[in-house]
Amino acid sequence: MKLTEANHLEKVHAIFDILNGNKEADLLLKNLNILDVHGETVYQGSLLVYDKRIVAINPDESIIKVKDVFDGQGLYAIPGLIDAHLHFESQLAHPTALAEAMVPCGTTTIFAECLDLLSAAGENGIQAAQDLFKDYDKLPYRLYAFAPGKKTDAAVTRAVLDMEPVIGLGEFEHFTYSSGNEDDFRKASWVRTKGGFMNGHWGVTALSDMILNYLPAIGVSNNHDVWNVNDIEKSIRYGFATQIKFGVGSSEVIKILLRAIVDRKFPTDNFMLCTDNISIERLLKMGHMDWIISLCTEMGINPIKAIKMASYNTARSFHMEDQIGSLTPGRFADIVLTDSLSRINPLYVFKDGELIAKDKKLLKNADIDYSNMKTKGVAGLDDLTPEQLDIVPLEVSEDGTQAKVYLFDVYGRGHAKFYQEVWVPMREGKIVPEYEGEKLSRLSVIQRYADDKRHIISGLFKGVYVDRGAVATFWPAPTPYFVAVGQESEEMCFCVKQVDQYSGACIVTENKTINSVMPLEIYGVMADMTVDELTSSAAAIDAALEELGNRNEGEPVVNKLLSLFISLHRFRFME
């Protein structure tokens, strides 16, 4: 809300009166070791808060009047942590459920994409955005969002650009912007007219140098899609504020990137930290920006510089350093108290000067009902037959004993090995699901709605293994597709048809009986659940698969499978 001249006059009078002891401030946080991100030092002191903002550092306590005092007990005070790039849908939780898991980790601000949800909503995309953002200012974290740069009709993008809290255009589709798509031109022109931000996307060394010039030349200001040292070098050379991500499946890649920053001595002012996509379970077990800061320090980055990568650097990149990212007068009182700078331990989390989390528990959340965003499934697989899921060899050896097939890897080392064409045994004309002595499951990627011939690709799969039964899930954006994992086409066909009854779900079956269901009923990409319900549902999927022979490590299987769709889309396995 914009303030009138009279409002501003009242506020500047109030701050003057507070500093001269003639008016009460809201809160004094004292006995702190305060991180100065500007000078990269720590000093002993206190912070005075009024009307959601810091109004003084080290105020004269003999003069000031204050309503409440908080004793920091010598803890370190650092700025509220910031996730520079998060997809709202990736963790499957709606905004208030996300708060339950994220804010206790010390995260007080996120910059969020919503393109998959709005793409899934189709012609209802504008309404979906309005419902997603309703009462956003009541959330216990600061939300800045981006209109869809890809996967969504241009008319939806234009309408969303005018909504609060949208500040710009989300990531473009690399297939289209590199070929001169007119909708992309229009989207870029709209955000340039508004003076908003544009998010960058796609590992920069995968683009020709001339196309890479196009992105910063039209105003793209950041890049979150780097996978190796060459990507980093080019990204910063072309002027991108570069976001180092640690989402689902990229634990190996994040260490490669951090090691590159240390070994090449790249100035850390060039970098921000983000998740891109992350599961609720990882937030609860490992943490959020707090964990990645700790990993940065383990990899050799100075702790203060690592904290800046998750606070001040991001604020500066989005021209908000006068609002967030440091503990200085005039900034919002978003403050995390930790007993260490090298291993962040968010004991107390303040947003707007209000204590909102303590000892990894959220104390206050918004009460927002998202149930009106739930949708019913429209079945599209009635005519699907088991035979359509059989693996069709790409090539067969002359003696008929081997076949070349696709091998998909759910983690794929940052897309580098997401899929390969490999030779596997054949017996009696059938594929043996085995590669280099390792038994594997089969994977089918299945188009949901087909006017003529249904698009289906099948191969072998690393990441989930079952001796029997099947698991299937669905993702609607940019086009509706299922994935099914199993050993037998008949069971896989049955399982995926059960998912087809929902707008979105993950289902485990055995002997054509449903063992576990996790519904994703908010446009097929989010669950209308609390964090406890969401984690219990994901754990039930994992438990059902364990009975079928899977030994899961890391992310829940539902998140592993949903992360597949990112790579399937990137490598054009979905039409």
Say whether pLDDT at 414 is over 90: no
Both tokens of 277, joined, read: 């996509």
Say whether pLDDT at 6 is over 90: no
- How far apart CA 374 and CA 377 sit, in angstroms, is 10
- How far apart CA 342 and CA 303 sit, in angstroms, is 5
Both tokens of 458, joined, read: 């099948």
Say whether pLDDT at 5 is over 90: no
pLDDT in tens, 321-354: 999 999 999 999 999 999 999 999 999 999 999 9
- Based on the number of CB atoms within 10 Å of its own CB, is 551 exposed (0-12), middle (13-18) or buried (19 or more)? exposed
| Band of residue 174 on the pLDDT scale cut at 50, 70, 90 | confident
- How far apart CA 274 and CA 263 sit, in angstroms, is 21
Cβ–Cβ < 8 Å for 136, 78: no
pLDDT in tens, 361-377: 999 999 999 999 999 99
Say whether pLDDT at 80 is over 80: yes
Cβ–Cβ < 8 Å for 23, 17: yes
Q: Look at residue 232 in the predicted model and tell me its pLDDT.
A: 94
| Band of residue 467 on the pLDDT scale cut at 50, 70, 90 | very high
Q: Could you count the other beta carbons within 10 Å of the beta carbon of residue 65?
A: 12
**Which span out of 194-203, 274-283, 524-533 was modeled with the highest average pLDDT?**
524-533
Work out the angle at residue 421's Cα, subtended by the Cα atoms of residues 418 and 425, and round it to the nearest 5 degrees.
125
Both tokens of 339, joined, read: 């007993």
Closest among 476, 376, 375, 446 to 120, alpha carbons compared: 476
Say whether pLDDT at 491 is over 60: yes
Helix locations, 84-208, DSSP H: 95-102, 115-121, 125-133, 154-161, 174-177, 182-194
Percent of the chain with pLDDT over 70: 98
User: Where do we find the tokens 């499951």?
Assistant: 441
Using only C-alpha atoms, the chain has a radius of gyration, in whole angstroms, of: 25
Strand 53-57 and strand 65-71: the pairing is unpaired
- How far apart CA 569 and CA 533 sit, in angstroms, is 29
For the entire predicted model, the pTM comes to: 0.95
Say whether pLDDT at 249 is over 70: no
- How far apart CA 18 and CA 56 sit, in angstroms, is 10
- Distance, CA of 36 to chain centre: 28
Look at residue 573 and give its three-state secondary structure: coil
Would you say the C-alpha torsion 15, 17, 21, 27 has a positive or negative sign? negative
Cβ–Cβ < 8 Å for 259, 121: no
Q: Look at residue 263 in the predicted model and tell me its pLDDT.
A: 96
Three state DSSP letters for 228-249: CHHHHHHHHHCCCEEEEECCCC
- How far apart CA 389 and CA 385 sit, in angstroms, is 8
- Distance, CA of 508 to chain centre: 25
Give me the phi and psi of 562, to 5 degrees please: -70, -30
Q: What is the DSSP letter of 399?
A: T
User: Where do we find the tokens 């994409």?
Assistant: 113
Instruction: Please tell me the number of Cα atoms within 13 Å of 85 on its side-chain side.
Output: 29
Closest among 156, 216, 149 to 188, alpha carbons compared: 149
Look at residue 333 and give its three-state secondary structure: coil
Cβ–Cβ < 8 Å for 348, 358: yes
| Band of residue 543 on the pLDDT scale cut at 50, 70, 90 | very high
| Band of residue 251 on the pLDDT scale cut at 50, 70, 90 | low
- Distance, CA of 85 to chain centre: 7
Say whether pLDDT at 127 is over 80: yes
Cβ–Cβ < 8 Å for 25, 66: yes
Q: For the residues 50-77, what does the mean pLDDT come to?
A: 97
Tell me how far CA of residue 312 lies from CA of 315, 324, 335, in angstroms: 5, 7, 13
Work out the angle at residue 82's Cα, subtended by the Cα atoms of residues 81 and 86, and round it to the nearest 5 degrees.
140
pLDDT in tens, 184-241: 999 999 999 999 999 988 777 778 888 889 999 999 999 998 888 999 999 999 999 9
